[in-house]
């Protein structure tokens, strides 16, 4: 018996030893099996457009066509422009892409873009990105992120307040802050004849003060004190903290998980500050009865006039609009003014002509502050701003989501076979790609305001110039944004020439971490005292 047991133990030990020898083989085989399975799934997943017979750009495993964006090598605008200009996309009305794991379509043909943004808007009425509508009341109710039903009611209420007449009433607030910008720059000179300035920071102080005044009725005093709380909040809202990056990543790439992740567009600190500011200003203005021709006047009017069931009485509705206006308004306008000054410093003949137009207009008005209509009527200033917005569109890409239950028929375009875009598919438009396409803009990289002269403007191909989007979901604040840019340039150029300096980058590069186009690593220029 003892001999039998010994034999059993020996046999078991031998078997165990054999298994131990085979374990690495099994492990390696398991890993290979998993990798093979994932590879086959990836191949099937990224073969989506080929199976549908749709021209597409080959995808990188796991990351699709946005690897440069995900690793921080470029911004959204550059990434979509690269896809727009790819060999696979050239000459196509549209091309299939993969934004991470999402099957998406990149539109290229201006006629098709018009169909999606304007003519068939009802089938593309919402954006793809989503935040949690229950948990994130501030992020989900603004005009940019809100889904169609909320957007439609909000837009209907606010559209009249951004019309020409209302913007004209707001001009006095813009002019007041423009004069404070002049004082700020004079103080920075310290009696010198010139100074080097990081332009984006200067412009951000100016636009922060404007948006704080218009949206919150608050004197933010950013120009007097760059460390003021409002300015600090504008910096904080773009701070790439891990939690915020997770939420934004989910909203843009995994929107169906937004409820589960309980995403928030803003940080807790930013939300508290915005709610406290809005509650204080509304109660203070209601008590005083003061009129400033700003959004607070509009909010109070809506509170009194809208029925109890109106969207305006939902929690956080007003603060949602004001908070997003602050986030979007200060950054886009400050970047555009920065790009304008950069191009004017590089193109001295354009700057001379623009400053001559300003000089003549100021003299005609006896050096008094110019009216809103006079500033809006400065023809060459308008051409310069429009050309800056062509080269540097603040929103460098647009997105929509196919919300038709039956899908969207694209059979009549260049696919070559019957094709219906599946419901829920995101579509993207590279505004930067369109604006720098030599087919529509000769010498597209050249800064040339003559493209927008009264004669040349008529030759612009429809739907190839989209700095503020197009269709019902185009930017509601276009007039106000353009006026803000013009006022900033006016109050700088009336006192200074801008020149290149040693720290000026020879070519503009974009901040890869910014959602809107913004200059990377600062834009330094020399400001030379030269009053008109």
The ranges assigned to domains in the chain are: 2-45, 67-529
CB 422 within 8 A of CB 452: no
Report the alpha-carbon angle 421-474-168, nearest 5: 170
pLDDT at residue number 9: 44
Which stretches within 222-376 are classed as H helix? 229-236, 242-253, 258-261, 268-288, 295-305, 317-346, 348-364, 372-376
Task: Please give the CATH superfamily to which domain 67-529 belongs.
Answer: Cytochrome P450 (1.10.630.10)
Taking 70 as the threshold, does the pLDDT of residue 99 lie above it?
yes
Region for residue 54 given its phi and psi (left: phi exceeds 0; alpha: psi -120 to 50; beta: otherwise): beta
Please give the Cα distance from 6 to 347 (Å, whole number): 95
Q: Kindly report the number of other CB atoms within 10 A of residue 245's CB atom.
A: 12
pLDDT at residue number 34: 58
CB 289 within 8 A of CB 301: no
Confidence band, pLDDT 50/70/90 cuts, at residue 496:
very high
> What average pLDDT does the segment 311-315 reach?
92
User: 282: which strand partners?
Assistant: none
As a whole-number percent, the residues of the chain with pLDDT over 90 amount to: 63
pLDDT at residue number 390: 98
Please give the Cα distance from 399 to 376 (Å, whole number): 30
Q: What would the pLDDT profile of 507-517 be if each residue is shown by its tens digit? A: 999 999 888 88
Radius of gyration of the chain (CA): 28
Confidence band, pLDDT 50/70/90 cuts, at residue 466:
very high
Q: At what angle do helices 268-288 and 317-346 cross, to 10 degrees?
A: 100
pLDDT at residue number 411: 86
CA 45 to chain centre: 29
Confidence band, pLDDT 50/70/90 cuts, at residue 2:
very low
Please give the Cα distance from 357 to 9 (Å, whole number): 101
pTM over 0.85: yes
Q: What would the pLDDT profile of 382-409 be if each residue is shown by its tens digit? A: 999 999 999 999 999 999 999 999 999 9
CB 244 within 8 A of CB 324: no
How many residues belong to the chain?
532
Confidence band, pLDDT 50/70/90 cuts, at residue 4:
very low
Q: What would the pLDDT profile of 138-185 be if each residue is shown by its tens digit? A: 999 988 889 899 999 999 888 887 889 989 999 999 999 999 999 999
Q: Is 93 helix (H, G, I), strand (E, B) or coil?
A: coil
Q: Contacts for 408-412 with beta carbons within 8 Å, 24 or more apart? A: 408/120, 408/123, 408/124, 410/94
């Amino acid at each position: 018996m003892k001999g039998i047991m010994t034999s059993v133990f020996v046999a078991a030990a031998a078997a165990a030893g054999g298994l131990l020898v085979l374990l690495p083989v099994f492990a390696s085989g398991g890993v290979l099996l998993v990798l093979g399975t994932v590879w086959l799934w990836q191949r099937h997943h990224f073969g989506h457009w080929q199976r549908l017979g749709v021209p597409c750009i080959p995808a990188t495993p796991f990351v699709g066509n946005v690897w440069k964006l995900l690793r921080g090598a470029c911004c959204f605008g550059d990434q979509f422009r690269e896809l727009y200009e790819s060999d696979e996309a050239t000459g196509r009305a549209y091309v299939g892409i993969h934004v991470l794991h999402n099957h998406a379509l990149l539109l290229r043909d201006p006629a098709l873009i018009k169909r999606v943004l304007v003519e068939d808007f009802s089938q593309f009425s919402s954006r793809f990105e989503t935040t949690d509508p229950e948990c994130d009341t501030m992020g989900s109710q603004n005009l940019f992120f809100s889904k169609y039903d909320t957007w439609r009611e909000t837009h209907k209420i606010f559209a009249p307040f951004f019309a020409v007449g209302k913007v004209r009433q707001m001009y006095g607030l813009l002019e007041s802050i423009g004069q404070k910008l002049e004082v700020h720059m004079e103080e920075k000179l310290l009696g010198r004849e010139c100074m080097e300035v990081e332009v984006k920071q200067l412009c951000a102080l100016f636009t922060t003060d404007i948006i704080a005044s218009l949206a919150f009725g608050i004197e933010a005093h950013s120009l007097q004190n760059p460390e003021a709380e409002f300015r600090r909040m504008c910096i904080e809202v773009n701070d790439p903290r891990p939690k915020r990056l997770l939420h934004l990543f989910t909203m843009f790439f995994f929107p169906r998980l937004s409820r589960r992740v309980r995403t928030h567009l803003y940080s807790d600190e930013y939300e508290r500050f915005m709610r406290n500011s809005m509650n204080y200003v509304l109660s203070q203005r209601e008590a005083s009865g003061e009129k400033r021709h700003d959004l607070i006047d509009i909010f109070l009017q809506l509170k009194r006039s809208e029925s109890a069931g109106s969207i305006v009485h939902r929690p956080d509705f007003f603060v949602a609009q004001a908070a997003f206006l602050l986030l979007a308004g200060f950054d886009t306008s400050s970047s555009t003014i920065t790009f304008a000054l950069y191009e004017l410093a590089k193109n001295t003949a354009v700057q001379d002509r623009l400053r001559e137009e300003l000089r003549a207009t100021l003299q005609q008005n006896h050096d008094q502050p110019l009216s809103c209509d006079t500033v809006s009527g400065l023809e060459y200033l308008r051409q310069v701003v429009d050309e800056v917005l062509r080269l540097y569109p603040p929103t460098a890409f647009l997105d929509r989501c196919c919300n038709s239950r039956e899908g969207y028929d694209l059979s009549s375009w260049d696919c070559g076979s019957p094709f219906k875009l599946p419901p829920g598919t995101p579509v993207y438009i590279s505004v930067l790609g369109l604006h720098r396409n030599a087919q529509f803009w000769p010498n597209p990289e050249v800064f040339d305001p003559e493209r927008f002269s009264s004669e040349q403007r008529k030759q612009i191909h429809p739907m190839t110039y989209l700095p503020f989007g197009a269709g019902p979901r185009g930017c509601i604040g276009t007039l106000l944004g353009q006026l803000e840019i013009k006022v900033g340039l006016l109050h700088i150029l009336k006192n200074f020439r801008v020149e290149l300096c040693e720290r000026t980058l020879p070519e503009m590069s974009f901040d890869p971490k910014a959602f809107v186009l913004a200059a990377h690593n600062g834009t330094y220029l020399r400001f030379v005292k030269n009053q008109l």
